[in-house]
Amino acid sequence: MRLLIMGPPGAGKGTQAKGIAEHYGIPAISTGDIFRAISKADAATASDLALQVKDIMLSGGYVSDEITNQIVAERLAEADAANGFLLDGYPRTAGQVDALDQMLAANNTTLDAVVSLEADQEELVARLLKRAEIEGRADDNEETIRKRQEIYVEQTADLLKVYSDRGLLIGVDGLGEIDEVGQRIFAALDAKLQR
């Protein structure tokens, strides 16, 4: 099973990604997690790549397609991804969509589905504000929260269209308890893959 997951900030994408991976026995591969791990390397031993990734992440920008595609290609070549995977946070650009297509074609495989977690924006903003208050995150004010939601919509609209045109997109209501949303995802995926 070869899957992608997309979802706005606060929709619980990372949590659902782990649940899906466990349910279907495939690795959940998050490019954000990979880049965070790379950038954590000790300053004294850090490679050029680690320093570069750290700077980019701090600035809030994207790591280049060249580096990102290479890192994903290497990760997908690992043994545990041979029979399936769930990618979280990738692809994020048209260039990454093409690169992923090429990686899959080289192995005579294709994607099975793209899960899109959907949630009302006002509901997400309210949720994130509450979390910021509980956790004392001063930088998570309403303005930055709304900005991140907008950026998500801007950045993913084209990608969602690509996968929708290919008949791969599955929209799932992302609001509710973690398990409840998880069950919705499994039901939607099972229905799609049986077809």
CA angle, 92 as apex, 75 and 37 as ends, to 5°? 45
Write down the least CB distance from residue 62 to ligand AMP, Å.
Answer: 4
Please report the DSSP string for 147-172 in residue order.
Answer: HHHHHHHHHHHHHHHHHHHTT-EEEE
137 tagged catalytic: yes
Going 90 to 91 to 96 to 99, the CA torsion angle's sign is: positive
Measured from the CB atom, the residue of 37 and 193 that comes closer to ligand AMP is: 37
From the list 20-28, 59-67, 150-158, 163-171, the region that binds ligand AMP by CB under 6 A is 59-67
161 is catalytic: no
Catalytic residue list contains 2: no
Q: Is 100 in the site for ligand AMP (CB under 6 A)?
A: no
Nearest to 185 by CA among 171, 167, 165, 164: 171
Tell me if residue 131 is catalytic. yes
Which residues of the chain form contacts with ligand AMP (CB under 6 A)? 31-32, 35, 56-57, 61-63, 68, 89-90, 92, 96
Q: Please give the positions annotated as active site.
A: 13, 92, 131, 137, 148
